[in-house]
Amino acid sequence: MLGFLKKVTDYAKDAIGAGNYLAQGLSVTFDHLRRRPVTIQYPYEKLIPSERYRGRIHYEFDKCIACEVCVRVCPINLPVVDWVMNKATKKKELRNYSIDFGVCIFCGNCVEYCPTNCLSMTEEYELASFDRHSLNFDNVALGRLPTSVTTDPSVQPLRELSYLPKGVMDPHDLPKNQKRAGELPTEILELMQQNPPKKFSEKSAKGNNKIEKNA
């Protein structure tokens, strides 16, 4: 009899506990109703891509020496370098250069290895087109610069989460000239040059000593 009663009370406790959890969950969802939407209203608002954003590749025809390093480091040998050997000058003469962005995976290897820095990555990501062949950019198309989100008058530029001031979560209605959280690399470098960290200077001093001993 007691065992049965215990079972019944345990069962009732479980049911009440389940109801309690349900109420907790409901309070969470109810609380979310009064929060501001976190979504970016895309064609009207756009996030500012970060400085290291790997978008569509930009190419400067005049800097290129047709070395084909970009082709060799590309996972699928995508860039097409069309050059001929000028026998008179014994130099490569570049005719055309193209990358098909319908196939490119935007890994950035070509940009990394380009010896003359004629390749770079832009912040452009809106590459939708009606025909996939129109994504095959030649050297003229590759040389165009994208419109920056910040200068486009029809777009409200919004900062990404990591570019917001400390403690701010919402990029909307942010006062101008608010500094992002943390220091910029240039600022860190300046700080280090003004008062060099102790450990760093000691280590370098030891290293110098070693070199002297070896000498």
Structure-block tokens of residue 43: 């064609």
Which is closer to other proteins, CB of 38 or CB of 76? 38
Q: How far is the CB of 137 from other proteins (least distance, A)?
A: 33
Q: Which DSSP category does 80 fall into?
A: E
Q: Tokens 């047709």 appear where?
A: 66
* Residues sharing a CB contact under 8 Å with residue 192, sequence separation 6 or more, in sequence order: 200
Which is closer to other proteins, CB of 21 or CB of 200? 21
Q: How far is the CB of 183 from other proteins (least distance, A)?
A: 31
Which is closer to other proteins, CB of 4 or CB of 30? 30
Which is closer to other proteins, CB of 37 or CB of 175? 37
Q: How far is the CB of 30 from other proteins (least distance, A)?
A: 6
Q: How far is the CB of 166 from other proteins (least distance, A)?
A: 22
Q: How far is the CB of 100 from other proteins (least distance, A)?
A: 35
Q: Which DSSP category does 156 fall into?
A: E
CA angle at 184 for the pair 183 and 185, rounded to the nearest 5°: 115
What does R_g of the chain's alpha carbons equal in angstroms?
29
At residue 23, the 3 state secondary structure works out as helix
Measured CA to CA, the distance from residue 174 to residue 42 in angstroms comes to 18
Measured CA to CA, the distance from residue 67 to residue 43 in angstroms comes to 40
Q: Quick one: which of 107, 108, 82 has its CA closest to 95?
A: 82
Q: Per rule CB under 8 A, is residue 189 in the interface with other proteins?
A: no
Which is closer to other proteins, CB of 36 or CB of 199? 36
Structure-block tokens of residue 55: 């978008």
Q: How far is the CB of 202 from other proteins (least distance, A)?
A: 51
Which is closer to other proteins, CB of 1 or CB of 28? 28
Measured CA to CA, the distance from residue 171 to residue 33 in angstroms comes to 19
Site residue total, other proteins (CB under 8 A): 15
Q: Per-residue contact track with other proteins, 12 to 51, x per CB under 8 A?
A: ---x------x--xx-xxx-xx-xxxxx-x----------
Q: Quick one: which of 149, 166, 167 has its CA closest to 158?
A: 149
Which residues of this chain interact with other proteins, rule CB under 8 A? Answer: 15, 22, 25-26, 28-30, 32-33, 35-39, 41
